[in-house]
Amino acid sequence: MQRILNFINGEYIEPISKQYLKGFNPALGMVYSEVPDSDERDVELAVSASKEALAKWGSTTQEQRSEVLLRIANGIEARMEEFALAETNDQGKPLWLSKAMDIPRAVSNLKFYANAALHLNGEFHQTDQHIFNYTLRSPIGVVGCISPWNLPLYLFTWKIAPALAMGNCVIAKPSEITPMTASMLGEVCNAAGLPKGVLNIIHGLGAKVGSAMTKHFDIKAISFTGGTKTGAEISRVAAPMFKKMSLELGGKNPNLIFDDCNFEKTVKISVAAAFTNQGEICLCGSRIFIQDTIYEKFKSAFMEEVKKRTVGDPLNDSSKLGAIASKEHFEKILSYIALAKQEGGEIILGGGAVMVEGRCRQGWFIAPTIIEGLSYDCRINQEEIFGPVVTLVPFTTEAEVIMMANSTPFGLASTIFTENLSRAHRVAAKMESGIVWINCWLERDLRTPFGGVKQSGVGREGGFEALKFFTEEKNVCVKI
C-alpha cells in the first residue's frame, strides 16, 4: 500500500485530519494507495506557506524562474519510465500511451512555459508626441489550480507551469482519483531548487479541498479543468469574490466526414479521435457525422479498424485501450450504453464491459462501442459520456451537418474531413467550437489558444494566453 502525502512548504506531510481515501488501480479494480482526505485546514496551511514564499519568488528574475522550470522538466524526463508506470497504475491508460503522450507532454508543458515566459512583451502605445502608455505585468499572488483525472500530470503541469513562470505561488489540487504523479512532482521540484512554499499540492475531494480553495479569500485566481457542472459551481462561488477564472470544461465533439475526404486517412484518424485514452479526452470526437453517399462504406471500414483495438492489461504493449479510470465512471458509461438502447440506438460493435484475463480480472474495462440509428438531438448525442462510446449519424447537406454539429450546449473542438479547400475553411468558420481540426486530430502546437465556447469553458489556455491569465496588468500613461 503506497501512502500519498500532501506537499506543503516543500515537505511531505500528513493531512491534518489524518484521514485517507482509497486510491485504486483501475486495471486491477483494487485499492493500492492511500490518498489524503484533506480539508480547509490543509488549504489554510498551504496558503500561509505560499504567502510567505511570494515575496521571494515574485522578485526572482524571469530568467531565474525559467531555469527552475527547465530543471523540473529535466527531472521528470530523467524519471520518465517511473512517472509513466505510476500514471498507468493510477489512471488505467496503456503504459505505451503514458510514455508516448502523457509524461512527454508534461515535460513539454514545463519547457514551453519556461521559454515562452522569456518572450512575453508588455504593450506600448504612443498617443501623440507628448503622451505614451506602457503596460506592466505583475504576478497575481497566490493562485489555485484544479485538474481532472483523465490526463493527470499532463493537465496538472499545463496549469502550474505558466502560473509559476509568471511569479505566482500555487496551491494545486489533482483529482483524488489520480494523485500519484502530482505527488511525485514534489520530489522533482525540491531537487530542482524550487523554493519552499512556491508550489503546494493538496490531495482530497473536490467538495472539500477544491471548494475550500475556491472560497479562500487569499487565493486570487482559479484555473480549473474538469466537468461543466463543477465549473458552474466554482463560478457560483468565485465570481462574486471577483476572482480571475479560467474554466476548461466538457465537450461533445463532432467529426464531420464529407464524401470527398481522403477515405483511408479519415477512417484511421476518426478511430484515434474516438478511442484514444479509452475516449477519456475532452477533445475526443464522439459524434461522427458521415455524408450519406459514403455512410455504409465508412461504417464497415471504421468497424474493421476498431475491431483491431484490443482492450487489455495496460502494461501490455498490444493493449490499445486500457481500463476506465474509476468504478463510478465505468458504471456511468455503461448506464449511457443502456440509455442508447432505450433511445432506439443499435449497438453495432461493443456495448458492454470486457473481462480481461489474468491479473486484471476485476478491472474496469469497456469495449469500444459504436452506436447507430440515433437522432442528433437525443440525450446520447447531446450529453458528454467521456468514454469509448461513439455514434454514427448520416447527413446529406453541408447546412444540415453544420446544424447538427452545433446543436449541443458544448463547443470545445470539431474535426472536418474533406479534400475541398473552400469547404474546409467555410465549414471551419461556422463551427461553434474553440478548436477546429481539418484532416487531423489532436495536433497540438502549444503556442495556440486552447479552450471552448458555450458550456465548454471560459477563457483560453495555451501560448501567451495562460501567461497573461496569471498576471495583473497595469497601464502607465506618461505625459511629457
Query: What is the set of active-site residues?
Result: 248, 282
Give the nearest distance from C-beta 452 to ligand NDP in angstroms.
6
DSSP three-state, residue 475: strand
Q: What is the SS3 assignment for 300?
A: helix
Q: Answer yes or no whether residue 69 interacts with ligand NDP by CB under 6 A.
A: no
- The minimum distance between CB 386 and ligand NDP, in angstroms, equals 5
348 forms part of the interface with ligand NDP (CB under 6 A) = no
Taking residues 7 to 46 in sequence order and writing x for each that binds ligand NDP by CB under 6 A, - otherwise, the string is: ----------------------------------------
- If one asks whether residue 404 binds ligand NDP (CB under 6 A), the answer comes out as no
Q: Is 260 exposed, middle or buried (0-12, 13-18, 19+ CB in 10 A)?
A: middle
Pick out residues in 241-270 that bind ligand NDP (CB under 6 A): 248-251
Regarding 227 and contact with ligand NDP (CB under 6 A), the answer is yes
Segment near ligand NDP (CB under 6 A), from 30-38, 60-68, 169-177, 423-431? 169-177
Find the shortest distance in angstroms from Cβ 298 to ligand NDP: 26
Please tell me whether residue 282 binds ligand NDP under the rule CB under 6 A.
yes
The residue (of 97 and 424) whose beta carbon lies closer to ligand NDP is 97
For residue 223, state whether it binds ligand NDP (rule: CB under 6 A): no
CB of 77: closest distance to ligand NDP in angstroms? 23
**27 burial class (0-12, 13-18, 19+ CB within 10 angstroms)?**
buried
Contact set for ligand NDP, span 319-338 (CB under 6 A): none
C-alpha cell at 124: 506600448
Sequence letter at residue 92 = G
Report if residue 449 touches ligand NDP, rule: CB under 6 A: no
**290 near ligand NDP, judged by CB under 6 A:** no
CB of 369 to ligand NDP, least distance (A): 18
* Stretch binding ligand NDP (CB under 6 A), from 11-19, 224-232, 437-445, 471-479: 224-232
Separation between Cα atoms, residue 413 and residue 455, nearest integer Å: 12
Nearest to 418 by CA among 392, 399, 394, 398: 398
Nearer to ligand NDP, 373 or 449 (CB): 449
Q: Is 210 in the site for ligand NDP (CB under 6 A)?
A: yes
Kindly state the smallest distance separating residue 76's Cβ from ligand NDP, in Å.
Answer: 20
**Region 178-207 residues binding ligand NDP, contact defined as CB under 6 A:** 205-207
Binding mask 132-161 for ligand NDP (x = CB under 6 A): --------------xxxxx----x------
- Count of other CB atoms within 10 angstroms of residue 227: 16
Strands (DSSP E) contained in 14-159 are: 20-25, 30-36, 124-126, 131-139, 142-146
- One DSSP character per residue, 349-402 reads E--SB-PPPGGGTTS--B--EEEES--TTSGGGTS---SSEEEEEEE-SHHHHH
Please choose, from the candidates 465, 470, 431, the residue with its C-alpha nearest in 3D space to the C-alpha of residue 451: 465
Binding status of residue 446 toward ligand NDP by CB under 6 A: no
Say if CB 461 and CB 451 are below 8 A apart: yes
Report long-range pairs for 416-424 (Cβ below 8 Å, ≥24 apart). 416/256, 416/258, 417/255, 417/256, 417/257, 417/258, 417/261, 417/262, 417/265, 417/266, 417/269, 417/270, 418/256, 418/258, 418/260, 418/261, 419/260, 419/261, 419/262, 420/258, 420/260, 423/258, 423/260, 423/398
In sequence order, the 6+-apart residues with CB closer than 8 A to the CB of 375 are: 381
Q: Which is nearer to ligand NDP, 167 or 174 (CB)?
A: 174
Residue closer to ligand NDP, measured from CB, 52 or 383: 383
Q: Measured from the CB of residue 195, what is the shortest distance to ligand NDP in angstroms?
A: 25
Binding flag, residue 315, ligand NDP (CB under 6 A): no
Q: Distance between CA atoms of 204 and 360, rounded to whole angstroms?
A: 26
Closest separation in Å from C-beta 228 to ligand NDP: 6
Burial group, residue 146, by CB count within 10 angstroms (0-12, 13-18, 19+): buried
- Confirm or reject binding of residue 102 to ligand NDP (CB under 6 A): no
- 274 vs 424 by CB, closer to ligand NDP: 274
Residues in touch with ligand NDP (CB under 6 A): 146-150, 155, 173, 175-177, 205-207, 210-211, 214, 225-227, 230, 233-234, 248-251, 282, 384, 386, 412, 452, 457
